[in-house]
Amino acid sequence: MLDLLVIRTPENVAFEFELASIGTRTVAWVIDVFVMAALIFAAAILASTVAVISEGIGSALLFVFIFLVQWWYGALLEWRWGGRTIGKRIVGLRVLGEDGLALTFPQAVIRNLVRVADLLPALYLVGGISVLVDRRARRLGDLAAGTIVVRERRTPRPAQILAAAERHNSFLADPDVRAAARRVSAPERDAMIALGLRRDRLPMAVRSELFERMAEHLGRRLGLVRPSHLTPEKFVLGLTAVVLGTEPMRGVR
């Protein structure tokens, strides 16, 4: 049975995340251990070559590299690679903030530094127990950093929210629509994109209700009248496509 976590945004849009099981997390960690071991082995070969010239420098380089791999492999990869390490990417896992947002650098550092406590007394015993008893399947590092580990579901890129054949019509070309799109706030934009990307994962009744409410909100706040030939979903998706194509990427990193 899937262990689902439901997060509701300030715009009252609910998203479901499938929490990663202890089994898949273990597989990901084992893969990462092999990757780290391979990196350290390669560094040892390099250090032995340097040691021919200077044994002290070779030893120092190996020590520094082992330190970097052990303490920064997870943190840097998760931060720069969307919450994934090599192991997590292979098994389809991803680390997110417990609010459902992307992992930040401080969160990535904290959850990996606290791994030392999770490993105690051996073989991840403390961390494993924590994952099993916590309702969000969090180890101590996740609790400290405010993160969760979820199964990653493949979603289309924002540019694919609306099919190419549907992006060019009188509604999208309307200058009033394009002007209104520039007044869409950052929270509204994020909610529109998230709803568009996740619509296929929503039950049809929930999907229809959310698009209806979003369309009513946007129409009322932006002063737009939804054309009769557009359903609430097509209206929101079309407006989202305009926002993505016209706004100067406010707050987007």
The model's pLDDT over 74-124, given as tens digits with 9 standing for 90+, comes to 999 999 998 999 999 999 999 988 887 788 999 999 999 999 999 998 888
Instruction: Evaluate if residue 141 carries a pLDDT over 90.
Output: yes
CA distance 182 to 178: 7
CA distance 50 to 60: 10
Q: Tokens standing for 124?
A: 């991840």
Phi and psi at residue 20, to the nearest 5°: -70, 140
- The kind and range of the H/E element at 35 are helix 22-53
Q: Which residue has the higher pLDDT, 65 or 185?
A: 65
Three-state DSSP at 145 gives helix
CA distance 27 to 156: 26
Per-residue CA distances from 19 to 61, 132, 234 (Å)? 39, 12, 31
Strands (DSSP E) contained in the chain are 4-8, 14-18, 93-97, 147-151
* 246 close to 183: Cβ distance less than 8 angstroms: no
CA distance 141 to 79: 15
Instruction: Evaluate if residue 159 carries a pLDDT over 70.
Output: no
CA distance 160 to 167: 10
Ranking 53-57, 127-131, 135-139, 144-148 by mean pLDDT, the lowest is: 53-57
| pLDDT 10s digits, 222-242 | 988 888 888 899 899 888 888
